[in-house]
Structure 1
Amino acid sequence: MTVTYLPTATTPDPDLAARFAREVEPLRDVLTRRARRLTRCEADAEDLVQDTLLRAYTGFHTFEAGTNLKAWLFRCLYNRWISGYRAKQARVAEVLTYSIDDRDLAATVSYLPGSGRSAETEILESLPDDDIKAAMRALPDGFAEVLYYADVEGYTYAETAEILAIPAGTVMSRVFRARKWLRLALAHRTRFRTESVTAPVVA
């Protein structure tokens, strides 16, 4: 991996650059996979990984050796993705006025700056099942986010805690309670499947 230096007032530390390359390179593939899940686009994922590595390198002197480097990089990746998403939200929408109609305007209004749709909301809205989406939306603030990273994305509790900057104990508690709430909210689906299987066949 080639490390690109940012202009700084001091001379870059070659030992730090070598350590960064040596320790981060084995994690590049897993970072890229996470970036693909977030962006759902190969080119955007590559851009996100490059941006993350550049930012991580500039802050690598603050990383405490011996702690969880992967979780630290995931945190950097998540922060860069959120920043990029919010920057896109803040960008003025440009359209060709002669080709837009009321339907187009209504379809795009929720994505305009100030619409309140967060990056996390976009993730949850992308879930394929309407019942699950509704149940996730009904969870208290912070619970759906934790459950998504721990159960859908497959992060460990420690990694989820690092990404969201909350204690690991909070992650464990929220995941446990969120799973319980989801089981209750989706219990009707289990009953429906059970009744369908055990229903007598009418000749």
Structure 2
Amino acid sequence: MTALEFTYNINRVSKTLRPFAMRLTRDSEDANDLLQDTMLKAFTNREKYTDGTNLKAWLYTIMKNTFITNYQRMMRKNTFIDTTDNLHYINSSDNSTHNEAYSSFAMDDITTAIESLESAYKVPFMMHFRGFKYHEIAAKLEIPIGTVKNRIHIARKELKHLLRVYSHLD
């Protein structure tokens, strides 16, 4: 695809990106900036686009990834490192005290919920929770990787059901 054809196709599809940018940013100015960043990245990386694939999906992916990157950058900018001996990360906009008793009750409920899972679901879930990758879990348990993913999904679904009392805490 020539640069002219690429430009024509991008301009044709770009009109559908603005509503997606508005849903992500919830601000007109930020949406315009995100759209502009997306177009710039698409033009500068046009050699990475495979001719014949879905251009619209490619642009949506660029936009989503750009939004996530910008959001993470903003969060890092708003977080500073406490250089005292404790070496804690402190978010400057979040100064609140939490009731430790509530946390203790929640942890007890979470532990009880996890313990109530069937072993077939609990073992892969806990291995994944501890940082094992899907393929590592599959190899260790000698089951297909699809089964591992399914069991972890079912465990999460069951835990979500068992801990639904905490769903209002977002």
TM-score by length of 2: 0.47
Higher relative contact order (CA 8 A, sep 6+): 1
Asked which structure has the greater CA Rg, the reply is 2
TM-score by length of 1: 0.40
